[in-house]
Chain A
Amino acid sequence: MTTVSFSLNGKQVSADVPDNTLLVNFIRETMSMTGTHVGCDTSQCGACVVHVECESVKSCTMLAAAAEGTSVTTIEGIAHDDGLHPMQQAFHENHGLQCGFCTPGMVMAAIELVKENPDPSETEIREGLEGNICRCTGYHNIVKSVQAGARMMGE
């Protein structure tokens, strides 16, 4: 067992977990925060993307212990007090989600993508989201959402 402590969506959390606990399981099971999803077992789908120190991370590939002392943000932690994060709002406006299962990872990856590249082209968005699989939308509206989200984040 090991004690893991970090800031989760701005709140300090701490728990004793087996050494091999993955960050995604720590978030979903230990912390009962189920917005972050698990879609695969080979680090290929991106449903589990969270931000660790403001960088996108597939939380299924990281040990919880490796997040010790960091600041972790999940889909539950990005909305502002006065409403949705611009990227969430853009996904809503542009029908960038259907079943919603890939959505948390997709939105988290998109936010990071726009932080790196505030005005991404369609190709840059498509290539940037290559690590996130969506089976429902055909990506067309996700690309539109990210373009709109980038504009809104820039405002």
Chain B
Amino acid sequence: MPEGSTKDGIGASLRRKEDKRFLTGSGRYTDDITRPGQLHVHFVRSVHAHANIKAIRTDAAEAAEGVVAIYTGEHVAADGIGGPICGWVVTNRDGSPTNEPPHPILANGTVRYVGDHVVAVIAETLEQAMNAAELVEIDYEVLAPVVDLANAASGAQLHENVPNNMYFDFELGDEAAATAALDSAATVVELEVRNNRLIPNAMEPRAALAEYDHIDDAYTLFTTSQNPHLTRLVIGAFMLNIPESKLRVVAPDVGGGFGSKIYVYPEEAVCTWASKKLRRPIRWTADRSESFLADAHGRDHINKIRMGLDKDNRITGLRVDTLANLGAYLGAFSVVTPTILHAPLLSGCYKIPAIYTNVKGMATTTARVDAYRGAGRPEATYLLERVMDTAARQVGMDPAEFRRMNFIPKDAFPYQTPVALQYDIGDYEPPLDKAMEMIDYKGFEARRAEAAGRGKYRGIGLSSYIEACGIAPSAVAGALGARVGLYESATVRVDPTGTVNVFTGAHSHGQGHDTTFAQIVADKLGIGVGSVEIIHGDSDRIPFGMGTYGSRSLAVGGAAIVKAVDKIVDKAKIIAAHLMEAADADVVFADGKFTVAGTDNEKGFGEIALAAYVPHNYPHDRLEPGLEETAFYDPLNFTYPSGTHIAEVEIDPSTGVVDLVDWACCDDFGNLINPMIVEGQVHGGIAQGVGQALLENAHYDETGQLITASYMDYCMPRADDLPNFKVDYTVTACTHNDLGVKGCGEAGAIASPPALINAVIDALAPLGVTDMSMPASPEKVWRAIQSAQAEAAE
């Protein structure tokens, strides 16, 4: 019988069910799994950014100890193996489609970035594979690299079918209206920003283990994926051309993703392909250097912004021209990220009558760039919140008050923006007020003066963001170029004893679904969370699901679970009515009990479950036995979390070090299921945003070598780089899902970078500094101070 009570249901900061296995070292990550007879693959990767392959000599490597097989692009081509595909494309301004180049899983004739996969060396041990890889000789004809995004169009052409290195040329909004607004504006604010390139760096490196069963002619792939069914679909149908039903994809415990584990990568396809050729399990785990080189990177935009204000400082128009660096190949979401997930967010939380944007997606000889925590929305928020501060400064207004007067008023919802989205609900002033109170905005000037007395520059910076989660609906997405559906699935299986198994298409890699989803089901069914088991990540067990990204799991996956639970309750009510000889309509379900209204007749949830599986006294004329339901939920709209984040910094002019001294944020995520988990998501998101703004930067030199390819050179946020965060919430419940939830996974990473850079500029503004690029490293800040002081001295 179900144990426990319902006090751990929706709204409780329940401690996580999944913690124990992680805390005791019993987590099961891909690299923890071994198979008898397994072989190891090591990849020989390109050392050049751009080159033709003249010859590959593998004889010495083949003769090396332990080597079982060596594969090159020729083997891949001979077997007709396809490459990873682009999951979403857009239509160009001129009506033509996105240029999609082929992406062979082992380079075929040309390499296009340092780290490109060239040869797979497979041996009995990893060390043997690595040693043999040293013996592979490749003759390259080196071609010109294309590294500088601003000049990528005039660089050496990377792909035959991508002229001017332009994958797409996208636009959104009304150009004439935006031009007219800017032409007649009382004030025009201009800004150019660079959204620095980031490397996701989930702490668990990517890994894969594939095995082939020749009796069933079937494969099993264990892989570090955020969406096992998509991996199965892409590898099965597009790469290996095998029936999907013959490929089982398992994403066991996954050590963080942040977007980087959405995509199918060549390595996992090579493992799967080779497992049949060699009839042995094949395993691969990236070392961190490979992760730096060959994981999908994030961001990397140049945005040119023009904003118009009327004489009362109300925004009248906005134009943004963006160059997005997409790297050497297109990934699953590389096209949608800087377009559909970016351009429609340009209205932010502001009333802007006219908006136009053009986005050009460029090919360069760098790792592919794809969705990374926030995906497109951080880039939109960064440019908008930077130009908001620039505008406020230009017209001499307090940045908080300038934002407030331009907010979409709360009585304007549903609000149709000029860039496609319709916000269902929101109220932007309360989070602004609350965050200002939390950080004592009013007292800031006193703190600035106090810091000045100590020789430090103190600054405060705001960011009021909106984001769009749970991409939807599928039909609209399809019309916009999506090649996948954007629903989520759930099967709820009640056992005869009343315990419940939930099979979800969402995937948890740190988000705590085992707990949050169990809370929802426990709450709805009036049973203890201990009676609810969440199953995810195995394509053989769960219904076809879309996985976890874009802060969609709760708003879409959770909503699917609620729908399935509702079906369970509907069926159970009929069974209860039959058992209690009452009319269906008279049966009420609450707190885990079915009662007949106006009587003391009642049946527990467990009793109904038992009756469904031991159907001796059962309404056979109306129902099938059993208690299991599946639901697919296709959302009606995006959800729109919003809020305000405020950063306070102190800068030491002698070193240029930016000390982040305080952080306050107030977010509106709609209803919260588990506030503790939500808060953790906010903390993690802010930390990644702080990383972007102060520390992290993926840098390729002019020859196309990745200079920041280890933790020595790529600066990750560490414990002593960050303060404690003050986090609070307001709630406007989402109007179109049953839970009233919006999603919280990316908000911190979206909101935080502009708050921080605005704070840095605010600190240095008294010196005359008006701009700062990310990351605001000590060197850059120090130089800005020096040149401002030199200018002042002139």
Contact = CB atoms under 8 A, between A and B. Distances in A.
A98 interface: yes
B768 interface: no
A93 interface: yes
Interface string B1-43: 0000000000000011011111111111101101000000000
B204 interface: yes
Given A41-B288, A42-B711, A135-B256, A84 B24 contact: yes
Given A133-B718, A138-B687, A100 B24 contact: no
Interface stretch (B345-353, B385-393, B507-515, B782-790): B507-515
B767 interface: no
Interface stretch (B107-115, B527-535, B676-684, B729-737): B676-684
Given A18-B127, A135-B688, A140-B683, A36 B25 contact: yes
A100 B510 contact: yes
Contacts of B32: 28, 34
Contact of B719 (A40, A76, A97, A125): A125
Contact of A141 (B20, B683, B685): B683
B394 interface: no
A143 B24 contact: no
Contacts of A44: 710-712
B287 interface: yes
A125 B748 CA distance: 23
Contact of B24 (A38, A47, A88): A88
Contact of B680 (A36, A98, A101, A123): A98
A127 interface: yes
A91 to B, nearest CB: 6
A123 B510 CA distance: 26
Given A18-B127, A101-B204, A130-B718, A91 B288 contact: no
Given A39-B205, A137-B684, A138-B684, A101 B29 contact: yes
**Which A-B residue pairs are the 4 nearest by beta carbons?**
A35-B25, A100-B22, A101-B255, A99-B510
Specify the main secondary structure of chain B where it touches its partner.
loop
A31 interface: no
Given A44-B711, A98-B680, A92 B254 contact: no
Interface string B28-69: 110110100000000000000000000000000000000000
A126 B720 CA distance: 5
Interface string A40-84: 111011010000000000000000000000000011100100001
A122 B719 CA distance: 10
Given A76-B25, A99-B203, A91 B19 contact: yes
Contacts of A37: 29, 203-204, 255
Nearest to B290: A41
Contacts of B712: 42, 44
Contacts of B724: 122, 140, 143
Nearest to B25: A35
A99 to B, nearest CB: 3
Contacts, number: 175
Given A42-B710, A98-B684, A74 B719 contact: no
A136 interface: yes
B316 interface: no
B683 A138 contact: yes
B188 to A, nearest CB: 38
A95 B24 contact: no
B509 A99 contact: yes
Nearest to B674: A95
Contacts of B512: 98
Contact of A99 (B255, B677, B718): B255
A23 interface: no
Interface in B495-522: 509-512
B716 interface: yes
B716 A135 contact: yes
Nearest to A40: B288
Nearest to A89: B23
A137 B26 CA distance: 20
Contacts of B683: 137-141
Contacts of B20: 84, 92
Interface string A5-47: 0000000000000100000000010001111111111101101
B162 interface: no
B140 interface: no
A102 B23 contact: no
A34 B203 contact: no
B684 A136 contact: yes
B722 A140 contact: yes
A39 B287 CA distance: 8
A1 B22 CA distance: 33
Specify the main secondary structure of chain A where it touches its partner.
loop
A73 B449 CA distance: 51
Interface string A117-137: 000001101110110111111
15 contacts: A34-B25, A34-B31, A35-B24, A40-B288, A88-B23, A88-B24, A92-B15, A95-B677, A98-B510, A100-B18, A100-B22, A101-B29, A122-B724, A136-B684, A138-B680
A95 to B, nearest CB: 5
Nearest to A76: B25
Given A34-B32, A139-B722, A101 B203 contact: yes
Contacts of B256: 98-99, 101, 135-136
A101 B16 CA distance: 15
A84 B20 CA distance: 9
Contact of A98 (B205, B511, B719): B511
Contact of A45 (B27, B127, B203, B725): B203
B201 interface: yes
A114 interface: no
B235 interface: no
A150 interface: no
Contacts of B718: 129-130, 132-133, 139
B29 A133 contact: no
Residue with the greatest number of chain B CB neighbours at <10 A, chosen from A41, A76, A101, A134: A101
A111 interface: no
Contacts of B202: 99, 101, 135
Contact of B711 (A95, A123, A133, A138): A133
A4 interface: no
A102 B31 CA distance: 14
B16 A95 contact: yes
Contacts of B382: none
A107 B510 CA distance: 17
A139 B686 CA distance: 11
A139 B660 CA distance: 14
B659 to A, nearest CB: 12
B19 A97 contact: yes
A138 B512 CA distance: 16
A18 B18 CA distance: 37
B607 to A, nearest CB: 34
Contacts of B253: 99-100
B254 A99 contact: yes
Contacts of A138: 680, 683-688, 717, 722, 725, 748
A141 B725 CA distance: 10
Given A44-B710, A135-B688, A139-B722, A100 B716 contact: no
Given A45-B203, A100-B18, A130-B720, 7 more contacts: A18-B127, A41-B710, A45-B711, A98-B680, A99-B509, A100-B21, A104-B25
